[in-house]
Structure 1
């Protein structure tokens, strides 16, 4: 690129940031702070279970696990609701949550002010009473709520309405914005995707191309498979231009030889979640990549959506994803383990119990 081109690109970046900052000044200030923290989210290819046990912060609520009481106490304390934290003791992603997000003073202050965090061990046997009065073990609760990946959060407002699900680990800025979405009551007016559209500065994703791979199918994107079943399962990669997390996915997990060999057993499609590229969805609906991403409430990229040969969604990876987790999910899909274990968390329980 010549100097004029570089100057033009820089000018576009400055203008897009300036316009965005005028309309969302608070979010712009937050992004400057949290963008530096997001750079710490570099777990590389090693997201395998860690040796040391992960402990949650002492300020997490010491609960008797009756959610009705927990909700009333949060309400009495003038908080915005309660959040069930689903974790496990040797989870690399949980470690990132504790050592990055919950070591950030602003996130800690904001979370403690607005929510009571109630820890749930997805392998645990303690009894939990939900808001409807049903009592079940931590493990069965995780299965019922399809908490396939840790850390995950299930957030309820003070009226007991479920208002947010976060599946997996999110970098500090995205995590803080999602909590703010609830605390400010934005969930009453708009989807999380719509809120994050305003929270993300345009300059982040408008200036560079996406990462191409030889195994991605080329357009037209006719993904319908309800009338005539496909021969292979499908992965839809929702990404964005100038997406740092997308770059890491391609240079890390997708750069692994064994991963590529597994990916070649799927039909794989890469879509720009912000584009108007025409798409026929696996269910046969004509739409655009942007509208489909909105319908699926995709608010974080990269997001990988897995479909079976008949166009049914199996599960999704829509949070930070590294090698160990990606390979595990692909194996779950390729072996059709979902026919025996409807959720990935049940599959993991089954494999663990087998040993």
Structure 2
């Protein structure tokens, strides 16, 4: 009887551990519409080493962590068929992550797109940027300097590159 109860308990634990936890259901739609004034959309690829480095930078670099406070940092996996809701580049709707990456003409990874709450793209950064430079770029967007000055001028003036 004890053996049967032990086997039944182990079987139940195995079955429960294999079930979805509810946060990753295929019917769930990821929302890419910013709640803040600006969003930083990181379009990444599964096998991209620079994407992994950017993820580490965003988690571990204090300057970069401080810079992204107050904006929405969102992620899009270019190979994913997960559904997303978006308002970017004058378009709004639902599609897959893969299709949205294609619609945004992303061809290199990581690809960082900054856009405002209305969905207007204000800046694109194709490729990896070191933490110091990316932190300056975030400040450039947050302070709306893209309306006043070229990015490269700003980065040189602020000693970011």
Q: How does 1:14-93 map to 2 (within 5 A)?
A: 64-67=29-32, 70-71=33-34, 73-74=35-36, 80-93=37-50
- The two structures, once aligned, show a CA RMSD in angstroms of 2.2
Counterpart in 1 of 2:82?
Answer: 126
1:200 aligned counterpart, secondary structure: coil
Higher-RCO chain (CA-CA 8 Å, sequence separation at least 6)? 2
CA distance in 2, matches of 1:84, 1:159: 14
Counterpart in 1 of 2:114?
Answer: 155
How many Å apart are 1:101 and its aligned residue?
4.7
Give the gaps of 5 or more residues in structure 2: 1-27
Higher strand share: 2
How many Å apart are 1:169 and its aligned residue?
0.6
The two structures have a TM-score, normalised by structure 1, of 0.34
Q: Does the Cα contact within 8 Å between 2:63 and 2:131 map onto a contact in 1?
A: no
Aligned: 1:174 with 2:139 = no
2:39 aligned counterpart, secondary structure: strand
Count of residues in Structure 1 that have an aligned counterpart in Structure 2: 131
Q: How does 1:208-247 map to 2 (within 5 A)?
A: none
CA distance in 2, matches of 1:138, 1:93: 19
Counterpart in 2 of 1:110?
Answer: 67
CA distance in 1, matches of 2:126, 2:40: 13
Indicate which of 185, 189, 213 corresponds to 2:144: 185
| Moved beyond 3 Å, runs of 4+ | none
The two structures have a TM-score, normalised by structure 2, of 0.71
Give the gaps of 5 or more residues in structure 1: 1-62, 75-79, 202-299, 301-355
Counterpart in 2 of 1:234?
Answer: none
How many Å apart are 1:182 and its aligned residue?
0.3
